[in-house]
A and B are shown apart, each in its own frame.
Chain A
Amino acid sequence: MNEESKPMSGKKQVNDIVIKFVGDSGDGIQLSGNILADTLAHIGLDMATFPDFPAEVRAPRNTTFGVSGFQIHFSNKKVLTPGDEYDVLVCFNPASLKVNLKNVKQGGIIVVDSSNFTTRSIETAGYTSNPLEDNSLSNYTVLQIPASEMVININSDLDKKNAERTKNMFILGLLYNMFGFDLKPAINYINNKFKNKSQLIEANLKSLEHGYKYSETIENFPKFYLAKCELLPGKYRDIQGNVATAWGLMAAAEKAGLHLFIGSYPITPATEILVELSKHRELGVKTFQAEDEIAGITSAIGASFAGSLAATTTSGPGLSLKVEAMGLAVMTELPIVIVDVQRAGPSTGMPTKSEQADLYMSMFGRNGEAPIPIIAASSSVDCFFAAFEAAKIALEHMTPVILLSDGYIGLGSSVFRIPKMEDLPEIHPPFADPNVKYYPYERDEEWFVRKWAIPGTPGLQHRVGGLEKSHIYGEVTTDAKNHEKMVINREEKIKRIARKWPMQRITGPEDSDLLVVSWGGTKGQVEGAIQNLTAKGYKIAHTHFRYINPLPLNTHEILKSGKKVIVCELNRGQFANILRMNYQDIEFHQYNKVQGQPFTVKELENAFTELLNS
């Protein structure tokens, strides 16, 4: 937290706070986080949140592998990431303290529900002594709050189990006092959340208010103050990356005047996209929960043939299954959007953990010469715009498009400045004219795009399929020269899309000592590291890629601007190698991480300074 030495009635002024709630799945962690996020939104602070949960639905209590969490980073300035290290860690049991302590800032605050630090739970966590008593936390401000006990007493009219459940509200009340937040938004949230369950409302509110008051009795209770926000004026909402992807697709369908069809099979961490789209029958969204990943994409291809904006959503293992059908979409030159919310692989890997290691598969994972455009979303909010753009490119260029997201930005949330539909670009699919003789593989000269003839339109009857077709006429043929021509046509069609991309940009000096290259969901951390190093006086610049295939036209020029170039990505160097393949005159350094976790700003700073000083 950037503390400024301006005390205000005993409160420290800060610009920036990271809080993490941790405990067992049943401890009400997500709810506490959501209430806090809602309040922050009402105050008008910027924020990013990230849920961290085990793959098991309900892991055994008090175990280290069953710890789940909710991280929230808020500031009166632009928030780039959910944060590396926590200013405040709220622990509901010893196991969650054990797992998360390493990421608490030196001198940070640890709030524990001390009623749950029993001999048994301490042992289950694998501690040999009670961490609250053995001096191991002496570098932190530890607030031991017997929250469970207190709420059972406060709500003595309830049975013990239900009363104890409100311990999260007690702690939340305490935090509200710590940051000087008004309880009103939280009270409204609870009233809405437990609509018609007056007993629950009453219990939660009582615990919340008691927690707030209780904190006043704590000696040297730390209090902070956040100055007013510096966000752009406008209307805002909080949005999860996967929801943003869903809405981006819906927005594209509306803009193009088409029905939206989704063929998907549930898979972590992409499922929420299908779940979200399933809610929107009111806007005519047709979601089809397919029998498998293959049916997901092939039904989307069918729907595309029939004239819908069609998409399929998945994560790595699912993308592997879709590979053959992706080739079919390339061959039939039909528009579909393939969303891959990447997770740690290979195989089923670590379903709830994030990685950027599906880039090779997206680029190369098909039989034959089968190029597909790739767009990578760079934040939770950008998922909306990236999905919209993927759909626009698919529809206007008659091609499958891969949209790469990842578990980190897909499940994370951030503050979204609500766009107006009229401000989004138009989408004009190349529909065939029923009054002109139709040839399925006739292309326009500028973009090499074939026309889309929709079944039900008189006179445009035609056939497409996976077999090679003759140029213009679209008849099945194995003619040697024709095949070569068609391969080159399909390749050229994708290459030319680069003319539609915006030019690649640099943030920072045009003649940097170090140019940092990133792509996809790591943007926030890299920006954070660059800002810090720039402030320290380093001549460092950043270029972030959203368009991976084809690469923007000025990519080479941009990459040549740095004396040294480093590519950082959450894999073993896939984008770095793609760049090497294209730009052999440039030496690319790499910074890679495959731990299922995002970069931290700090480790990036270290890596960059090391290279700068070498």
Chain B
Amino acid sequence: MKKSINNTIPKSDVPLTPKDFESDQIIRWCPGCGNHMIVNSLKKVFAEIGYKKENYVVVSGIGCSSRLPYYVNSYGFHGIHGRANAIATGVKIANPKLSLWVATGDGDSLAIGGNHFIHVVRRNLDMNIILFNNQIYGLTKGQYSPTSPLGAVTKTSPYGTIEHPFTTGELVLGAQGTFFARSLDILVDLTTNVLFEAAEHDGTSVVEIFQNCVIFNDGAYSEITNKENRDDNVLIVEDGKPMIFGKNKDKGLVLNNFNLEVVTIGENGITEKDILVHDAKTPSPFIHLMLAKMHHPWVFGVIRNTPAPTYDDLMEEQISMVKAKSNIKCMDDLLNSGDTWEIKG
């Protein structure tokens, strides 16, 4: 059992299990879709966090990922294309005691809803954004997305895309994000862990999950996911631990001339002590950015987790402060304040 979360959201009096969040809806995602694993992780995390059931809210936009609210038994809002983060902003400001989860995709949050995405991150509202990145538009059946690699052949790019893709982590950090983590749909335990840490983080947590679309973009992550060299391509970072990876746990990262470099322990006099220790909590985004942009290996786990005041807390604080100082306690006070005059009958 993880350590418990401390904040103002009311806790359940009874222990919860993933079954408590089981919905009665038939899941309509394609068989083999990575989303099935993600929704299971989410139910597990909800149970583990242990807030009162009625305090979970899942908000989504449009896209395959955005069907998620129907598959979790909580309060849910299935919005319109790109607006999940803006809708969620209203929910959280209205009631900060809700545990808020946004299910969104690379199209929903990085294309049509890109503006809302960067602004919610900048404001640091306490909410958790699960961004399913499959590098394709699935629901509209296979057009390229803002994360499709340059040259990707899709229905709307039959000769290859001529667009440079976004890196989600880079956008998050550019928008002064306080929490960024990455997982892979098939790494169920990692997904569960990072979602828990996202919930624990007081602020906007973005969890990007590389998700395989079996129909329109199958194998987009095969370089990472194939069993033979997965271990050599995947670095799972943990705060306070050296960034070591590889089948034989002999590869690691060092900082060389302001760049991250992969080295092998035992070669050229490198020992474990030389390997860079991951510091998710450092305010400087410098190394976090390099980790988010790295391709060999790809970096997973919680890359950044730094404290900063949240919009919702500041709003509540400001309201209490102004209330305490003001003589105006109700509308009658306001209506009769300032310059008024009486006409006698």
Contacts and interface: CB of A to CB of B under 8 A. Distances in A.
Interface in B317-342: 318-319, 321-323, 325-326, 328-332, 334-336, 338-342
Interface string A125-153: 00000000000000000000000000000
A240 to B, nearest CB: 12
B52 interface: yes
A298 B87 contact: yes
Interface in B22-52: 25, 52
A324 B81 CA distance: 10
Contacts of A42: 341
B340 A303 contact: no
Nearest to A462: B75
Interface centre among B78, B97, B119, B345 (most CB of A within 10 A): B78
Contacts of A238: 339
B331 A421 contact: yes
Contacts of B55: 455-456
A299 B87 contact: yes
Nearest to A281: B322
B86 A466 contact: no
Contact of A298 (B78, B86, B328): B86
A25 B118 CA distance: 38
Given A280-B334, A302-B59, A464-B78, A456 B98 contact: yes
A237 interface: yes
B79 interface: yes
Contacts of A418: 335-336, 340
A231 B119 contact: no
Given A41-B341, A418-B340, A263 B94 contact: no
A577 B336 CA distance: 42
B344 interface: yes
Nearest to A288: B93
A302 B94 contact: yes
B116 A250 contact: no
Given A299-B90, A459-B54, A465 B73 contact: no
Contact of B340 (A235, A327, A420): A235
Contacts of B25: 475
Given A38-B339, A237-B339, A250-B331, A261 B116 contact: no
Given A456-B54, A457-B54, A465-B79, A295 B89 contact: yes
Contact of B91 (A250, A455, A465, A476): A455
Contacts of B54: 455-461
B167 interface: no
B291 to A, nearest CB: 28
A34 B75 CA distance: 50
Given A261-B93, A286-B94, A236 B119 contact: no
A306 to B, nearest CB: 4
Contacts of A41: 339, 341
B315 interface: yes
Contact of B83 (A280, A298, A467): A298
A472 interface: no
Given A463-B69, A466-B78, A236 B90 contact: no
Contacts of B344: 233
A455 B86 contact: no
Interface string A295-311: 10011111111111010
A261 B315 CA distance: 12
A283 B59 contact: no
A332 to B, nearest CB: 8
Interface string B65-87: 00001100111111110010011
A318 to B, nearest CB: 14
Nearest to B58: A463
Interface string B289-333: 000000000000000000000000001001101110110111110
Contact of A283 (B74, B91, B330, B345): B330
A434 to B, nearest CB: 9
B343 interface: yes
Contacts of A327: 80
Given A247-B334, A306-B98, A284 B91 contact: no
A369 interface: no
Contacts of B75: 305, 455, 460-463
B213 interface: no
Contacts of B335: 237, 247, 418-419, 421
A294 B83 contact: yes
Contact of B70 (A281, A282, A292, A463): A463
A466 B315 CA distance: 29
Contacts of A394: none
Interface string B153-173: 000000000000000000000
Nearest to A250: B331
B136 interface: no
Interface in A264-304: 280-284, 286, 288, 290-292, 294-295, 298-304
B119 A303 contact: no
A533 B53 CA distance: 67
Contacts of A284: 319, 323
A390 interface: no
B55 to A, nearest CB: 6
B206 interface: no
A295 B93 contact: no
B341 A306 contact: no
Nearest to B337: A237
Contacts of A465: 69, 76-79
A300 B90 CA distance: 6
A61 interface: no
A11 to B, nearest CB: 23
Contacts of B17: none
B98 A44 contact: no
Interface centre among B78, B116, B331 (most CB of A within 10 A): B331
A254 interface: yes
B332 A281 contact: no
A41 B342 CA distance: 9
Contacts of B91: 302-303, 305-306, 455
Given A298-B79, A463-B69, A455 B342 contact: no
A234 interface: yes
A282 B90 contact: no
Contacts of A458: 52-54
A236 B343 contact: yes
A328 interface: yes
A462 B76 contact: yes
A251 interface: yes
Given A229-B343, A235-B336, A302-B86, A254 B331 contact: yes
B73 A461 contact: yes
B95 interface: yes
Contacts of B326: 282
Given A251-B331, A280-B334, A44 B94 contact: no
B57 interface: yes
16 contacts: A44-B341, A235-B340, A237-B340, A259-B94, A294-B116, A295-B86, A299-B90, A302-B86, A302-B92, A305-B75, A456-B97, A461-B76, A463-B75, A464-B76, A464-B77, A466-B80
Interface of A: 38, 41-42, 44, 229, 231-238, 247, 250-251, 254, 259, 261, 263, 280-284, 286, 288, 290-292, 294-295, 298-308, 310, 324-325, 327-328, 332, 418-421, 455-467, 475-476
Interface of B: 25, 52-55, 57, 59, 62, 69-70, 73-80, 83, 86-95, 97-98, 115-116, 119, 315, 318-319, 321-323, 325-326, 328-332, 334-336, 338-345
Given A421-B331, A461-B73, 17 more contacts: A231-B343, A237-B339, A247-B334, A282-B326, A290-B89, A291-B115, A294-B116, A302-B87, A303-B91, A307-B94, A418-B336, A421-B332, A455-B91, A456-B55, A457-B54, A463-B69, A465-B69
